[in-house]
Amino acid sequence: MKKILISNGHIIDPENNLDQVGNVYIADGKILAANQLLSDFTADLTIDASDNIVCPGFIDLSARLRDPGQSYKGTILSETTAAASAGVTSVCLPPDTSPVIDTQAVTELIADKAEKANYPQIYPIGALTHNLAGSELSSMFALKQAGCIAVSNATAPFFNLLVLRRAMEYASSHDLLVMYHPDIPALSNNGCVHEGAFATQYGLPAIPEASETIAVAQCIELAELTGCRLHFSQISCKRSAIKIQQAKKYGLKVTADVAIHQLHLTEDDIEPFNSFFHTLPPFRTKKDKQSLRESLANGTIDIICSDHQPHDLDAKLGAFPETEPGISSLETLLPLALRLVDDNAITLPQGIAALTQNPARTLGIQSGALTADYSADVCIFDPTLSWTVNQDTWKSAGGNTPFWGQTLKGRVTHTIQAGKVIYSL
């Protein structure tokens, strides 16, 4: 196993309170030391990280690799290549693959594919209910044993609160984190944009914020009832953030993440009928965006994820309401996170914490930090390097992003996973 020295980089490691220029030493696939000067270290590879940031590799709480089952949209190979170029060294895979991650067999299949793609750190998230149908519990213990890191309903709704309660109780009895995507289908009613001025002007079926906030409120109550560890996936509303803040104040074990693009785009940014702006949850109002940013800064929202959803051409080709929602977003994760720092919404260490330390803590894994003996997952990036989103730079199989053709600032120069350089610019 290679000995790697990353020299002279600006180390930002929130877990260990590091925010200064220094060296990082890697050996045998693990972190040897960070921010120290080792005299007796002969490196096989030296990376000069002057003027670059050196931080733990990013842990993405939600990235759809479309494998198994939807290889026309993407594969574990193509999407982990994109992840590597984005500085992401651990990916959590939501259970809505095909077949659904509700058996040991599928979980092991994913691990197998991950190994073949030379990207070992894919953490499958198991389904809360069998086939995500919302009626029978899945074999959560078996899933956990096979390697599932948490359980989730993906975007499938629960029609019966009793089943949700029982699922949360059962998960909790096996100490499994429940990741919940909050939505009441009777209220969202097949909408495709936020219920507001934009929807009204363009006559598009709309999703009221109540469909998210009511689901958040319900689930918080059930978390209190069941004692379950709860994580809200991809919230979008100010009023959801308020409820989560109250729950935390009250002492409940609740965390939340937000998709990076929700921190930048609102309904006012949607180009009318451009399906690249079709997402679920939809882009909300400026007030919601402001609140999401503040919540990230004050810790109400703990984590930023990419919510990566690559799509084939046909999925986005149609009248707006008929297209499939989702953005291919791994590769814009870093520059958009840095934009938050430029906008003074958060500090750079806060941003990196939201991508490393906090996901690790929520998942309960020894990762997301440059702690000695941890797996050597490191991201080195140049925060000033500009690049354009186009055919030449894009690695994901899905080109469905509203940022296509734009020039962004901030690019990964090296990604190291388990002590191996899996990407260099």
Q: Which residues are catalytic?
A: 307
Give me the least distance between CB of 321 and other proteins, in Å please. 5
Give me the least distance between CB of 271 and other proteins, in Å please. 8
Query: Based on CB atoms, which residue is closest to other proteins, 109 or 187?
Result: 187
Residues that bind other proteins (CB under 8 A): 195-197, 199-206, 208, 272-273, 314, 317-323
Give me the least distance between CB of 64 and other proteins, in Å please. 21
- CA–CA dist 280, 207 (Å, integer): 10
Query: Based on CB atoms, which residue is closest to other proteins, 268 or 373?
Result: 268
Query: Based on CB atoms, which residue is closest to other proteins, 56 or 208?
Result: 208
Give me the least distance between CB of 207 and other proteins, in Å please. 11
Query: Based on CB atoms, which residue is closest to other proteins, 103 or 275?
Result: 275
Query: Based on CB atoms, which residue is closest to other proteins, 102 or 209?
Result: 209
Give me the least distance between CB of 205 and other proteins, in Å please. 8
Cis check: omega of the bond before 182, within 30 degrees of 0: no
Query: Based on CB atoms, which residue is closest to other proteins, 271 or 392?
Result: 271
Give me the least distance between CB of 45 and other proteins, in Å please. 49
- CA–CA dist 152, 156 (Å, integer): 9
